[in-house]
Structure 1
Amino acid sequence: MNLFLSHIARRAWIAIPLLTGSCTMIPELGALTDRGDTRHRRIVVSLREQKAYLYHERELVAESAISSGREGKNTPTGHFSVVEKDSDHRSSLYGNYVQNGRVVKQNVDVRKGGRPSGTKFEGVPMPYFLRFSGACGLHAGKIPGYPASSGCIRLPKRQAKRFYDAVRVGTPVIVE
């Protein structure tokens, strides 16, 4: 019986914050329960910490692990703003050459080498893309625990969607 009560107590500890308040951060989930106005929000990315933070006014409302640009493909630093939102974005630079639905050449950079005859380019999916500088943006992708991207900032899919839903074009993005 003690094990059952302990299980119930743990569930209540998680549920109580969900039931209270309309603008609450639930740290263990990084959940933003405020579904209101997106003004006064900003994204701050720490390349050193490999973390992204979402603020509403001065309050931290969500955070996420990231994977930024690897050596030689560094993520730009500075003050930017979201210039494009695309929930179903695909890379225009990196992907595969395909023919009749079959990958002919994979992991290509369209700027290097030629396209095999009869193929078309299919860009890598970058769900919940928030463009902030040139070709760089925040989007869903693999998070290996270190900088590994070609310059973009990858977040776990669930967090990428949270950040995407919480901001609008014009939202400040600070990368440091």
Structure 2
Amino acid sequence: MAFALRAFCPLLAFAACVALPLVARAAPVASDPIALAPGEYRWLSEGPWAGPIYMVISIEKQMVHVYDGDRLIGAASVSTGMKGHRTPTGEFPILQKRQWHRSNLYSNAPMPFMQRLTWDGIALHAGHNPGYPASHGCIRLPHAFARKLFDLTRIGTQVNVTTDRLSPALMVGTLVLEDPNDPSSAIVTFTPVEEAVLAERPALPQAAGKAERVPALKVDPAIFRPRLMR
């Protein structure tokens, strides 16, 4: 019996060595579908899209997520502003779109598929994407991604630039923007959103037999209006 066990032990050890890699191959660790290298992008849906289209850009993660309503439809690596030219955070509507554009601030640099976020030089556009903040404040996108995104958006599409968050946020409010120095600039008007009003509560029974009506509660829409932060 002892001899049989001694002879069988090497076989057990060999089987264990062979079985471990087989188990690892049978149950691989799923990779993050949105983990992207510098310059990479991914569309998770080819449409059609119901809208509204909305995007969130994370400075810390150097990523942009594009949403159709609350559904993630695309992601790409980005390059935001370097030290001394930090990309401003906040909620921005797209103010202007030009397929071929050159910077009037930085040596006439090309900015293909430009989508302007502020009138002082911040925009989305195709550009070099090294995987870290390297621009003068703009958000650089992979070229093919920028081209498709350009076709997908419109004047007024919301862009939320955050420190780290990539999840969508509430998009309501009314805002009109115009460049006083450019007569050809577009005036962006958001569709007014009605105030959220809670229904009046049922009358409360009173000792005297009379019911006192509680005033309806209202949410101040001003707190939801997008603000430009420079």
Identify whether the pair has TM-score above 0.5, normalized to the shorter chain.
Answer: yes
Distance 1:164 1:60 in 2: 17
Which structure's relative contact order is higher, taking Cα pairs within 8 Å and 6+ residues apart? 1
Give the corresponding residue for 2:65: 53
Alignment partner for residue 78 of structure 2, among 59, 66, 73? 66
RMSD over aligned Cα, in angstroms? Answer: 1.8
Paired amino acid for 2:118: S
- What TM-score results when the alignment is normalised by the length of structure 2? 0.50
Q: Percent identity among equivalent residues?
A: 39
In 1, are the aligned partners of 2:82 and 2:134 still within 8 Å (CA)?
A: yes
- Tell me what 1:34 maps to: 47
The amino acid that maps onto 1:58 is D
- Count of aligned positions: 122
Following the alignment from structure 2 to structure 1, what is the Cα–Cα distance between the partners of residues 141 and 41? 14
Contact 2:57 2:161 in 1 (8 A): yes
Contact 2:41–2:75 (Cα < 8 Å) also in 1: no
Following superposition, the deviation at residue 163 of structure 1 comes to 1.4
Q: Which residue of 2 aligns with 1:171?
A: 157
Three-state SS of the structure 1 residue aligned to 2:83 is coil
CA distance in 2, matches of 1:35, 1:87: 23
Check whether the contact 1:128–1:139 (CA below 8 A) recurs between aligned residues. Answer: yes
After TM superposition, give the deviation of residue 89 of structure 1 in Å: 1.0
Which structure has the larger Rg over C-alpha atoms? 2
CA contact 1:35–1:166 (8 Å) conserved in 2:
no
Q: Is there any run of 5+ residues in structure 2 with no aligned partner, and where?
A: 1-35, 163-230
Runs of at least 4 residues off by over 2 Å: none
Deviations 1:117-143 (A, max 9, x none): xxxxxx111011111122101100000
